[in-house]
Structure 1
Amino acid sequence: MSDATQGTSDLKHYVNDRPFDPYSAVTLSPEQEKYYLASQWVLMWMKFKRHKLALISGIYLVLVYLSVVISEVLAPYSFSHRHTDFLYAPPQDVRFFHNGEFMGPFVYEYDVSLNLEELRWVYTENTARPKQLRFFCTSDDYAGSTYEFWGIWESNFHIVCPAKDSQFFFLGTDRLGRDIQSRIIQGARISLTVGMIGIIISFTLGLVIGGMAGYYGGWIDSVVQRVIEVIRSFPALPLWMALSAAMPVTWSPILVFMGITVILGLLDWPGLARAVRSKLLALREEDFAVAAQLMGAKPSRIIGKHLMPSFMSHLIASATLAIPSMILGETALSFLGLGLRPPITSWGVLLNEAQNFSAVALYPWLLYPAIPVIMVVLAFQFLGDGLRDAADPYK
Structure 2
Amino acid sequence: MDPAANLPELPSRYVDRAPFDPTDAEALTPEQERYFQASQWRIIWWRFRRHRIAVWSLVILGLFYLCVPFAEPIAPYDPNMRNAQFLYAPPQPPRIVHDGALHLPFVYPMRAELDLDTLRWNYIEDRENPQNIRLFCMAGEYTMWGFIEGRFHVICPPKGGTMFFAGTDRLGRDVFSGLVHGARISLTVGLVGITISILLGMFFGGIAGYFGGIIDSVIMRLIEILRSLPELPLWMALSAALPVTWPPLWIYFGITIILGLLDWPGLARAVRSKLLSLREEDYAKAAVLMGAKPRRIITRHLLPGFSSHLIASATLSVPTMILGETALSFLNLGLQRPAISWGVLLNEAQNITVVTIYPWLMAPVVPIIIVVLAFNFLGDGLRDAADPYKH
Give the TM bin, normalised by the shorter chain.
over 0.9
Task: Name the counterpart of 1:111.
Answer: 111
Task: Name the counterpart of 1:13.
Answer: none
Letter of the structure 2 residue corresponding to residue 76 of structure 1: P
- For residues 154 and 114 of structure 1, the distance between their equivalents in structure 2, rounded to whole angstroms, comes to 39
Task: Name the counterpart of 1:138.
Answer: 138
- For residues 93 and 374 of structure 2, the distance between their equivalents in structure 1, rounded to whole angstroms, comes to 27
Matches within 5 A, 1:199-348: 199-348=194-343
- For the Cα contact (< 8 Å) 2:22–2:28, is it kept in 1? no
Aligned residues: 379
Task: Name the counterpart of 1:28.
Answer: 28
Between 1:55-64 and 1:97-106, the stretch displaced more is 97-106
Letter of the structure 1 residue corresponding to residue 103 of structure 2: M
- For residues 28 and 206 of structure 2, the distance between their equivalents in structure 1, rounded to whole angstroms, comes to 41
Of 159, 173, 181, 1:178 maps to: 173
Cα 1:79–1:296 shift into 2, 3 Å: same
- For residues 5 and 193 of structure 2, the distance between their equivalents in structure 1, rounded to whole angstroms, comes to 49
Letter of the structure 1 residue corresponding to residue 262 of structure 2: L
- Measure how far apart 1:23 and its partner are: 4.7
- Measure how far apart 1:197 and its partner are: 0.4
- Measure how far apart 1:250 and its partner are: 1.0
- For the Cα contact (< 8 Å) 2:67–2:181, is it kept in 1? no
- For the Cα contact (< 8 Å) 2:166–2:360, is it kept in 1? yes
Of 155, 158, 165, 2:153 maps to: 158
- For the Cα contact (< 8 Å) 1:72–1:149, is it kept in 2? yes
Matched, 1:69 2:69: yes
Does the residue aligned with 1:174 lie in a helix, a strand or coil? coil
- Measure how far apart 1:289 and its partner are: 0.3
Per the normalisation by structure 1, the TM-score is 0.92
Letter of the structure 1 residue corresponding to residue 123 of structure 2: Y
- For residues 210 and 353 of structure 1, the distance between their equivalents in structure 2, rounded to whole angstroms, comes to 41
Task: Kindly indicate which of the two structures has a greater share of residues assigned to helix.
Answer: 2
- Measure how far apart 1:392 and its partner are: 1.0
- For residues 5 and 64 of structure 1, the distance between their equivalents in structure 2, rounded to whole angstroms, comes to 48
Does the residue aligned with 2:130 lie in a helix, a strand or coil? strand
- Measure how far apart 1:24 and its partner are: 7.4
Give the gaps of 5 or more residues in structure 2: 9-19
- For the Cα contact (< 8 Å) 1:87–1:174, is it kept in 2? yes
Letter of the structure 2 residue corresponding to residue 132 of structure 1: N
Give CA-to-partner distance per residue, 1:157-209, whole Å, 9 cap, x none.
11111122100011111111011000000100000111000000000000011
**Percent sequence identity over matched residues?**
60
Task: Name the counterpart of 1:92.
Answer: 92
Per the normalisation by structure 2, the TM-score is 0.93
Give CA-to-partner distance per residue, 1:26-63, whole Å, 9 cap, x none.
70111111112222111111111111000110111122
- Measure how far apart 1:101 and its partner are: 4.6
- For residues 97 and 147 of structure 2, the distance between their equivalents in structure 1, rounded to whole angstroms, comes to 40
Give CA-to-partner distance per residue, 1:243-281, whole Å, 9 cap, x none.
000111111111111100100000000000011001101
- For the Cα contact (< 8 Å) 2:112–2:122, is it kept in 1? yes
Task: Name the counterpart of 1:126.
Answer: 126
Give the gaps of 5 or more residues in structure 1: 10-19, 140-144
- For residues 387 and 214 of structure 1, the distance between their equivalents in structure 2, rounded to whole angstroms, comes to 24
Cα 1:224–1:128 shift into 2, 3 Å: same
**Pairwise CA RMSD:** 1.7
- Measure how far apart 1:284 and its partner are: 0.5
